[in-house]
Structure 1
Amino acid sequence: MKSLLKICFITSFLGLSAISCKEDDDYETIESVEKVKIDSVKIVNDTMAVFSVQSIRTYSTYPSKCQGFYGYDYIHSGETERDITAYQYFTNGTCPQVKYSAANQINFRPQKKGVYTFKFWTGDNTWITKNIVVN
């Protein structure tokens, strides 16, 4: 019985070792990053208090599963003006050409009162403009 347990243990261990030693199983390399159009923006409250936090959601469409959200370029273009551009990554994987939409967010925490204007890049030279009043 002891030898049977040893064989089962050794077989199980070797089987797990073989599975865990696969190289690049689900690993894909990011090949490049470029701008992605922001299709829409959702701001829950257009009025908020100083030092409070509000999530601003953006939605973008990607043509395949080899692309996805990489990050934002969040530029202070004025004292209360912000220009926001989203970026997507491209991987070297084998992916189905399936369009999908994804939501991402920016957490906005104003430090002073005023009317903040956000411009979200939608392609070429066009922008979605949203205002938030901070009291």
Structure 2
Amino acid sequence: MKKIKFLVFTFTALVLTSCSLDDDESNFHFEAMSITEVDLPESFVYGETYDFNITYEKPSSCYVFQGFDYVHSGNLERTVTAVASVYDDRACTEGITFETKILPFEVRFKGTYTFRFWTGINEETQQDEYIIVEIPVEEEQTTAIKP
């Protein structure tokens, strides 16, 4: 019985000391990337799903696209930001490149949607800037059947 207690104690001590969560030296951080272009329809049809082509600016090869931060403000307002992980401990290729990713969107409400795509911070005012697009929702399309 003493051997079992000793083994359990040893195993527990080993697990607790070998897995430290105090990693203060992260090798990456997250940053927003400027959205430079959006390809959106002029109107939506209620209930349909659309693929938005969103182009953003990558300052270097250390920026790796992680996804879009997509914030709802009420039923019809959306704020979209392109997010990257930026690796601090890599040798990176400097120079701006542009990439395009797809953001799927399902029309769930009637009215006019307002989209705000983050483009960066104004150097003079230090305020966030956006591409703002308003898209109205049309009624469902119906196909008339002729006899």
| RMSD, aligned CA | 1.7
Letter in 1 for 2:108: Q
Q: Aligned partners of 1:122 and 1:55: how far apart in 2?
A: 20
Matched AA of 1:49: V
Give, as a single letter, the amino acid of the residue that structure 2 aligns with 1:130: V
Per the alignment, residue 96 of structure 1 pairs with 93
Deviations along 1:24-76, one digit per CA (max 9) or x if unpaired, are xxxxx961111111112111x22121121111121111122121211111111
Q: Are 2:58 and 2:97, in contact at CA under 8 Å, matched by a contact in 1?
A: yes
Q: Which residue of 2 aligns with 1:85?
A: 81
Q: What letter corresponds to residue 136 of structure 2 in structure 1?
A: V
* Residue in structure 1 matched with residue 61 of structure 2 by the alignment: 65
Cα distance per residue 1:97-129 (max 9 Å; x no partner): 132110112111011221101001111221101
TM-score, structure 1 as length reference: 0.71
Q: Is this contact kept in 1: 2:76–2:109, CA < 8 A?
A: no
Q: Does 1:127 align with 2:123?
A: no
**Structure 2: which 5+ residue stretches go unaligned?**
1-25, 122-127, 139-147
TM-score normalised by the chain length of structure 2 = 0.65
Q: 1:30 to 1:60 in 2, by over 3 A?
A: farther
The number of aligned residues is 106
Using the aligned pairs only, state the percent identity: 29
2:49 corresponds to = 53
Q: Which moved more, 1:69-78 or 1:89-98?
A: 89-98
Alignment match of 1:118 (pick from 100, 115, 118):
115
Structure 1, unpaired ranges of 5+ = 1-28
Q: Is the 8 A contact 1:74 1:85 kept in 2?
A: yes
Structure 1 residues 30 and 74: CA distance shift in structure 2, 3 A: farther
Return closer, same or farther for 1:30/1:57 CA change in 2, 3 Å cut-off.
Answer: farther
